[in-house]
Structure 1
C-alpha cells in the first residue's frame, strides 16, 4: 500500500501524489501518469503493482491545478468530467507537474515515466521535453501522432490497440515513419484502455504481453 505525498512544482504550485515503495532495494523509479480519470483506484493499483515489481512508483495528481481529489469512474459521466478537467489544465503546467514528480524521485536512482491514455501522451512528451529521465513508456496516447515531430531525449516504448477507435492505425504509422527509433507494438483485438482491468475494454492477453515488454524495457534502461 502506498501513501499520499505533497509535490512542489518549479513555479511553486503544490500538488498531491500517490507514492508506493518496494519491499527491498529499488530497481529504479517510475512516474505513473494518469488517465483522464484522476489518480483513482486503478492508477493507485498500478503504482502498487510496479512497487511489487521492485520500483518506487509515484503518481502525481495532474488535475490538482483545476480540482483536487479527483477520482472518476469509467462510465460516461466520468469520461465527460475527465475531458472537461483536462481542458482546464494547460499542457505546459501539466508537464511542469510531471517534472516535479521526476524531481521527487531523483534520490532513488534512474527514473522512467509510464502513462496510460492521456498519461501515455504525457509520457512521450516528457521524454521529449523534460529532464532527468532514463526512458519512457506510453500506452495508447492519442496526442502522440500530433507531436511526433518532437524528438525524444531518451528511449521510448509505445503500446497501441489495433481496434482503438480513438487512435487510427494511420496515426500509429505516422509515428513509426517520423520516429523510427521508437519501439512500437500494436496489439491485435485490443481497443483503447486495454491494459485497465476496471474498463470494459480490458484485454488480458494484450495487457500481459504489453506488461512483459514494459518490464523488460524498464529492466534494460533503469538497471
Structure 2
C-alpha cells in the first residue's frame, strides 16, 4: 500500500501518492491526474503500475490551488465535479503543472528512466512532459492536446483515444497522426475516460 509524501516545488509543497514495487524498480513513473484530483481512482492506478514493477508518484496537483491539507477525494464524477475541477485546472495553469511533474520526476530519478502517464487533463500535461521536459509519456484522451501539436517533441509520446468521445472529434485525432506521425496513436471503440473503473 502506498503513502503520501511531499514534493517541494518552486510554487509550494505538493503531496504525491507514492507506490513502490517489490524489488528493484523497472523505472519511475509520474501518474498525472484527471480534473477530479489525485483521488482514490488515481491512487489505485498508481498502485497498479507499482505492481508491474515501477516506482510511482501521483502528485496532488490541486494542492497548489486548494492547499496541501485539502481532501483529494472531494470532487464527484458529476457536472458539479467537472465544473469545480475545471476551475482548479484554470487556476493552476500549465506551467505550474509542469513544475510539479518536474519535481516528481526528479524525486523518481534513482529508480532509473522516468516517464509519465496522464488521463484527461493529465493526458495533455503528459504530452507537454514529452514535448517540453523530455520525459517519455503516454497520453490518454487529452482533449487539450491539439493546441500543442506543433511543438517539437523532446521524447516519445503514445496517444490513446475513444472513437465515441465527443470531446475529442475525429479531426483532432487525425491532427495527432498528421503533426506527430512518428508517435503511436491508438483509437478504441469507447467513450471518454475508458480507462477509469469508477464514475
TM-score between the two structures when normalised by the length of structure 1: 0.85
Match of 1:77 among 73, 80, 86: 80
1:108 paired to 2:111: yes
Quick check: 2:21–2:53 contact (8 Å CA) kept in 1? yes
1:145 paired to 2:155: no
- SS of residue matched to 1:121: helix
Q: d(CA) in 1 for partners of 2:66 and 2:37?
A: 10
- CA RMSD between the two structures: 1.1
How many matched pairs? 195
Deviates more, 1:74-83 or 1:139-148: 74-83
Structure 1 stretches lacking a partner, 5+ long: 200-223
Offset of residue 146 of structure 1: 1.2
Offset of residue 12 of structure 1: 5.3
Q: d(CA) in 2 for partners of 1:105 and 1:164?
A: 33
Q: d(CA) in 1 for partners of 2:65 and 2:80?
A: 18
* 4+ residue segments displaced more than 3 Å: none
Structure 2 stretches lacking a partner, 5+ long: none
Q: Which residue of 1 aligns with 2:14?
A: 15
- SS of residue matched to 1:158: strand
Q: d(CA) in 2 for partners of 1:128 and 1:121?
A: 10
Q: Which residue of 2 aligns with 1:162?
A: 163
Counterparts of 1:1-223 in structure 2, within 5 Å, are 1-9=1-9, 11=10, 13-68=12-67, 69=70, 70-71=72-73, 72-131=75-134, 133=135, 135-188=136-189, 190-199=190-199
Offset of residue 111 of structure 1: 0.6
- 1:3-48 CA-partner distances (Å, limit 9, x unpaired): 0000012x25211110100111111110000000000000000000
